[in-house]
Chain A
Amino acid sequence: MSEIDATISPGQVILEMKGITKAFPGIVANSDVDFDLKKGEIHCLLGENGAGKSTLMKILYGLYKQDKGEVFYKGEPLVVNGPADTLRQGIGMVHQHFMLIKPLTVAENLVLGNEPTKYGFLIDKKKAKAELMEISTTFGLAIEPDAKIMDISVGMQQRVEILKALHRGAEVLILDEPTAVLTPQETKELFVIMRKLVHDGKSIIFISHKLKEVMEISDRVTVINHGRIIGSVKTSETSPSQLANMMVGREVELIVHKEPAKPGKEKFRAEGLVAENDRGLPALRGIDLSVRAGEILGVCGVDGNGQTELVQCITGMRRLSAGKVTLNGKDITNMPPKRCFEAGIVHVPEDRQKHGLVLDFTVAENMILQTYNKKPFSRGITLRWDEIKSYARRIISEFDVRTPDEDTKAGSLSGGNQQKAILARELSRTPELIVVAQPTRGLDVGAIEYIHKRLVSERDSGRAVLLVSLELDEIMSLSDRIAVIYEGRIMGTMDIEDATEETLGLMMAGSMPASHKGVM
């Protein structure tokens, strides 16, 4: 392989996908897609969820077989039989969800599937460690070889994944939304690593939908939408707004315009919330929060620090083992979901397909998920479809949900329109407190723009909004106050004026910046 290798110098095309077409029943995921990667570059594949990024990469990685088109690697047609074979040929992928075995050590994970052995059957741990040390020195990726995966940070785990790919001799690395799980600091570290890797002659495909990161790290950007390539540009010759334009096909406003909040009296208060996660481990260890009318309180933190459980506890979907939740002074602690929304809480859940919608229901049926047994949608036990459908039509058009009609199955809407449908349902119920979790996850910029505007206008009309998001940018552009959650506790709450990315990032990682000691 090294012979061929020598023929490809930096800047030459190492990988080329030509005319890739892939259709699934009912969906054309990739249509005549051309994509190429030069040696020593970071090439970003940018597009909303469902645009066809993942399909294209799965074809490259050997998980899918394309219907049409060809892949060339180092000038030769690439024929692969599944992921293991792809890796052998020098193309490695770091998945969004890591493929690591948690109780095993870093070194053990590194050699997994390719273990050095003693006497033919015992794993040679010393050799595994030596191999790890060698590769980590070569690429300057410091790591503790004997630490167990479950004890190291997400950023470190990602590093193990990258080392794994390098260990198998990957020349081309595919990083699938690598920053989604990282703190800002960890993202910076990752970018340093990525730069070092390309400096050492590796080539990287960086999959993302975050414009800021794309602008920061990539050399070239290829935008994909609806399974088609919209265009390929040099990063140095483009701007975030041009990229957003390409992604959506129209002008979008990337900045949320809002007036300073005029908060009223306190609407919602949570005191000392304690709860466990699904595995019975402590998830909330005493959360205190309050939200006033007419303000957006943003809760930011790294994924898995209790955000999910916090939202579930407030909305009645998870039991608190201690603490108190009040809305308008009324105690709603541990009330079932029905009582919570009857009290005036609406909830845009973080997983719209799991909780937010019944995908096999029509849009109209979804619009009455909480109100099906209320007037005017039913009389006695009989549903009144005329009322339901006309209501659905009304809020569909009010919230600009793009659907052929109200009888279309919710599952066939795009992610953005599913989210708009949920917003339409929730915000139409004249709420006291709006709890939104990850409202724009995986959405294209156009839908994000709409949802952000809508949340701000709800705030302006005097509603209390509790926003939980993993996207720091989203938190910073929408919130009036920010609370940082770390390991089930609120590290601190601050006004937006006092918040900087650095301070928030440090607090998200669990350390209290000196300037903010005692802000609580």
Chain B
Amino acid sequence: MERKKDNSAIKELIVPVTAVFIGLVLGGILMTLTGVNAIEGYKALIMGCFGRLEYVSETIVYTTPLIFTGLAIALGFRCGLFNIGCEGQYIVGLIGAAVVGAMDLGLPTFIHLPLTMLSGMACGAIWASVPGLLKAKFGIHEVVNSIMMNYIALYLSHYLVNGPIKDPGITSPYSREILDTAKLWRFFGQNSPIRVNSGIIIAIAAALFVYYLLFKTTIGYQIRAVGFNPEAARYGGISVPTNIVAAMFISGALAGLAGAVQIMGIQFKFLDIFAFQGYGLDGIAVALVGKSHPLGVLPSALLFGILQRGSQTMQMLAGVPKETIGIMQGVIIIIVAAEGIIKGWLPIRKILGTDKKAAGKEVGRA
């Protein structure tokens, strides 16, 4: 019998990679149909993302929050939870960081900066714990609750930025700028237009942390056991409600961290938002394509970062409608989500060189 270990990573990658490939081909066909040279279109995509230092920087800036929200949703998935509330947790994360970051407490950077970040995380975590508790205690489905929490966050933020936390010095609904002690380090200078900052490092560290948490600790073991089979977890003495709340809490903290990093590295203040910004929802796609694996989330977030950033330059440089990218994203997500069907079509065993019959025998369940 072959050892599966060696193949498992490749096996996991086959579907997402195929999905991206099909998405790109389909995008090319769409461009051709709409009268655009597909090669020019993709050139614009690549150039727009990597053509200049600023562009690379912007791609990373787009990618960073997607890593956090992708991780948040992936962690939820691992516990069998669909934390569709990342959008709202992101918003409260923005607010939490904007408020604490703007507090002039005379703190040094090494205290003020982590405190600001923690504040954003805590807000997200608490926001996510509400649907978590409702699910654990009363069995109310987290999707419904967290969507409602999204709206509460959105309108609460309207109220706050137009009132209590509004910067009185200006007319626009902005909060006060955070202090320098709460700002993340921009690699090319604090006032440089090249906005890439240490947020990306925090994001990568977060991915490593989630990986460690999920696969190397007893907490992750419990979360995954509950996610795969709550009945067996209960049988094994693992508390299902506790882990549901814990997973929502950590997931919310990650989504809140997305907001905090956005404030501390990019925006420096809370700007009133009128509609959801989509990081939370795109995080679902990121987690799906990343197969809910923290290390899969990294390339997956980069992919979506590129597509989003690229969709703008494609429109500008090659006249490709932005919607083309939207369709490509949709195709990729559908293919990955329909993995079971796709795997039946793909000659995976041939690719990996394993004999179908031998595998059939080994599995032997009908």
Give A residues with C-beta under 8 Å from B. Answer: 23-30, 50-52, 54-55, 226-227, 315, 317, 336-338, 341, 347, 349, 354-361, 365, 368-370, 372-373, 378, 381-383, 385, 404-405, 407-408, 412, 414-415
Contacts and interface: CB of A to CB of B under 8 A. Distances in A.
B217 interface: yes
B5 interface: yes
Interface stretch (B52-60, B67-75, B113-121, B224-232): B224-232
A30 B2 CA distance: 23
Interface string B228-258: 1101111111100000000000000000000
Contact of A25 (B222, B233, B343): B343
Contacts of A357: 229, 232
B364 A347 contact: no
Interface string B330-366: 0000000000000110000000000011011111111
A361 B237 contact: no
Contacts of A370: 236-237
Contacts of A226: 361, 364
B216 interface: yes
Contacts of B356: 23, 26, 28
Shortest beta-carbon contacts, A-B, top 6: A338-B237, A369-B236, A29-B366, A28-B360, A355-B235, A360-B228
A337 B235 contact: yes
A209 B344 CA distance: 31
7 contacts: A28-B356, A315-B235, A382-B217, A404-B3, A404-B362, A405-B5, A407-B5
Contacts of B344: 25
B300 to A, nearest CB: 21
Contacts of B360: 23, 26-28, 227
B357 A361 contact: no
Given A23-B360, A338-B237, A358-B225, 19 more contacts: A27-B364, A28-B361, A29-B366, A226-B364, A227-B360, A315-B235, A317-B235, A337-B237, A341-B237, A347-B235, A355-B231, A358-B232, A360-B229, A369-B232, A369-B236, A383-B217, A385-B216, A404-B362, A408-B4
Given A382-B217, A383-B216, A369 B225 contact: yes
Given A27-B364, A361-B224, A381-B219, A349 B4 contact: no
Contacts of A356: 232, 235
Given A227-B366, A407-B4, A381 B217 contact: yes
A273 to B, nearest CB: 19
A370 B363 CA distance: 26
B235 A26 contact: no
Given A25-B343, A360-B228, A383 B221 contact: yes
B366 A382 contact: no
A79 B229 CA distance: 40
A54 B366 CA distance: 8
A52 B233 CA distance: 30
A75 to B, nearest CB: 29
B237 A358 contact: no
A358 B224 CA distance: 9
A354 B3 contact: no
Nearest to A342: B237
Contact of A24 (B216, B234, B366): B366
Contacts of B171: none
B191 interface: no
A226 to B, nearest CB: 6
Contacts of A404: 1-4, 362
Contact of A365 (B5, B221, B234, B366): B221
A385 B212 CA distance: 12
Contacts of A23: 356, 360
Contact of B234 (A54, A317, A372, A381): A317
B365 to A, nearest CB: 5
A361 B228 contact: yes
A372 B218 contact: yes
Contact of A359 (B1, B216, B229, B236): B229
A361 B216 contact: no
B364 A414 contact: yes
B233 A358 contact: yes
A414 B366 CA distance: 10
Q: Point out which of B5, B219, B235, B361 has the most chain A C-beta atoms below 10 A from its C-beta.
A: B235
Contact of A52 (B4, B231, B343, B366): B366
B364 A354 contact: no
A355 B364 contact: no
B357 A28 contact: yes
Nearest to B229: A358
Contact of B218 (A54, A315, A358, A378): A378
Given A28-B356, A382-B216, A50 B237 contact: no
Contacts of B357: 28
B363 to A, nearest CB: 5
B363 A412 contact: yes
A414 to B, nearest CB: 5
Contacts of A315: 235
A109 B167 CA distance: 73
Nearest to A408: B4
Interface in B187-236: 216-219, 221-222, 224-225, 228-229, 231-236
Contacts of A50: 364-366
B60 to A, nearest CB: 32
Contacts of B5: 405, 407
Contacts of A25: 343-344
Nearest to B226: A358
Contacts of B237: 336-338, 341, 370
A345 to B, nearest CB: 11
B217 A354 contact: no
A310 B85 CA distance: 41
A401 to B, nearest CB: 14
B54 to A, nearest CB: 42
Q: Point out which of B1, B5, B229, B359 has the most chain A C-beta atoms below 10 A from its C-beta.
A: B229
Nearest to B219: A381
A372 B235 CA distance: 13
Contact of B221 (A55, A317, A372): A372
B109 to A, nearest CB: 30
Contacts of B366: 24, 27, 29-30, 50-52, 54-55, 227
Nearest to A418: B365
A336 B2 CA distance: 41
A50 B1 CA distance: 20
Interface string B274-311: 00000000000000000000000000000000000000
Contact of B225 (A29, A337, A361, A405): A361
A364 to B, nearest CB: 11
B224 to A, nearest CB: 7
B363 A26 contact: yes
Given A347-B235, A354-B231, A27 B365 contact: yes
Contacts of A408: 4
A341 B5 CA distance: 33
Given A26-B359, A360-B228, A415 B365 contact: yes
A343 B238 CA distance: 16
Given A26-B359, A26-B360, A50-B364, A373 B231 contact: no
Nearest to B364: A414
A337 B236 contact: yes
Nearest to B236: A369
A50 B363 CA distance: 10
A357 B225 CA distance: 10
Interface string B1-28: 1111100000000000000000000000
A374 to B, nearest CB: 10
Contacts of A54: 366
A372 B2 CA distance: 28
